[in-house]
Amino acid sequence: MKKVAAIVTEYRKWSHADVIVGKILEGYMYDGKEKPNLQVVSMFTDQVPKGDMSRNLAKKYDFKIAETIEEALTLGGKKLAVDGVVIVGEHGDYPNNEKGQKLYPRRRLFEEVTKVFEKTKKSVPVFNDKHLGPTWEDTKWMYDKSRELFVPFLAGSSIPVTWRKPALKLPKECDLTGAIGLGYGPFEGYGFHTLEGLQCMVERRRGGETGVKAVTCLSGEAMWKAMDDGKFSMDLLDAAIARVPSKDKGDYRVRTLMGRDSGVFLIEYIDGFTAAAAMLNNFLHEIDGGAFCFAGRIKGEKEPRACQYYMQQPDPFGHFIHLVKAIETLINSGHSPYPIERTVLTSGILDAVMTSRHEKGKRIETPHLAIKYTPAEWPFATDPVPMTVKREF
């Protein structure tokens, strides 16, 4: 069993620490029967909220609650004592900046981990939940540091690896002519999920990923004027919306203008490809697997290809199972199962989105996002959706 240090912002019921680290501790279904080949030996919690679970779990599963990140990685000794690190910098009481970005301390947590690597002259694989940092400065620093220290690095969302309904996989090197990612919920936090759902598809277009040259975030009437002006496809948006099980019956143009935090992200890629992500709050709903969807059109095909990224809520939050399996592969093999560059790119796009929104829909040029990579063939979930289970807390 590979030894893991869990570095989390907080560990409470249904937090990301619970649905990721909890599957390592208690099994994919929280019944102890099927577990990854990983053992949590230590945990650092940046905050200890009311309802904290980490202390009771430490007693139950005999792992160390560390006072510092260094102690978590060395178990109090002078040498690195773990085979991998899982960082879950999601949830907790942290401020927003002026752009509305939640200042989760992901860079700080990762920096403390890499200080131990430098001190002990040894690096091990690291997983970072969701985007690398709220700002491009944090994202680039984390990526560059991982390269400097030869850290096998994996990050991102559960959306690319969850069930797709139907099981859509675009052909590699396909002639994709347009694409839409569909989402809902907290603008930044779920905007990242929407972008990852879009990017894991469009990176399969002919030529592979070459990066993004500009991003624009539109809100209000400007969203629908852009659609009417042909800046993104109504047909593709409708195809994505058709995959959402739970939505209002009214006109989405009207409903989104009545709510808060709706928006459309226009993404201009370096190779000339364009795509959009639409956050249709007050029209789409979270029940029945959620409303993260994709639609794209391949040259020569009349009908768009579209799917829903299925999220299972609540327990056992099955859409995190394949993310944990990717973490297991990372730590056991020493190689990231899919490119960290995807999450570097989506983190940078999201930062540009939040900047554009703050600057009233200004087009933000992104020469720093000239990020090239070839998509990996890591599988998404195809096994049957597990039944909801009841856990005792």
Q: Give, for all 393 residues of the chain, the pLDDT tens digit.
A: 999 999 999 999 999 999 999 999 999 999 999 999 999 999 999 999 999 999 999 999 999 999 999 999 999 999 999 999 999 999 999 999 999 999 999 999 999 999 999 999 999 999 999 999 999 999 999 999 999 999 999 999 999 999 999 999 999 999 999 999 999 999 999 999 999 999 999 999 999 999 999 999 999 999 999 999 999 999 999 999 999 999 998 899 999 999 889 999 999 999 999 999 999 999 998 889 999 999 999 999 999 999 999 999 899 999 999 999 999 999 999 999 999 999 999 999 999 999 999 999 999 999 999 999 999 999 999 888 788 888 877
Are 326 and 20 contacting, i.e. CB atoms less than 8 angstroms apart? no
- Degrees (nearest 5) of the Cα angle 249, 253, 258? 85
C-beta of residue 294 within 8 angstroms of C-beta of residue 307: yes
Question: Which residue type sits at 140?
Answer: K
For 2-151, the fitting CATH number among 3.40.190.10, 1.10.530.10, 3.90.1310.10, 3.40.50.720 is 3.40.50.720
Angle at 184 between CA 362 and CA 252, to 5 degrees: 85
Helices 136-148 and 106-120, interaxial angle, to 10°? Answer: 20
CB-based burial label for 188 (10 Å; 0-12, 13-18, 19+)? buried
- Identify the burial level of 184 via C-beta atoms within 10 angstroms of its C-beta, where 0-12 means exposed, 13-18 middle and 19 or more buried: buried
Please tell me the distance from the alpha carbon of residue 159 to that of residue 157, in angstroms, as a whole number.
5
Q: Give pTM, 2 decimals.
A: 0.97
pLDDT at 13: 96
CA–CA distance, 356 with 97 (Å, rounded to integer): 14
CA distance 333 to 73: 19
Residues in the chain: 393
Q: 371, 339, 368: which is closest to 352 by C-alpha? A: 368
Amino acid at 342: R
In the chain, residues under CATH classification 3.40.50.720 are 2-151
The residue type found at 193 is: H
What burial class does residue 347 get, using C-beta atoms within 10 Å of its C-beta: 0-12 exposed, 13-18 middle, 19+ buried? buried
Backbone angles phi, psi at 258, to 5 degrees: -85, -20
Q: Name 204's Cβ contacts closer than 8 Å, sequence gap at least 6.
A: 170, 171, 172, 173, 174, 176, 375
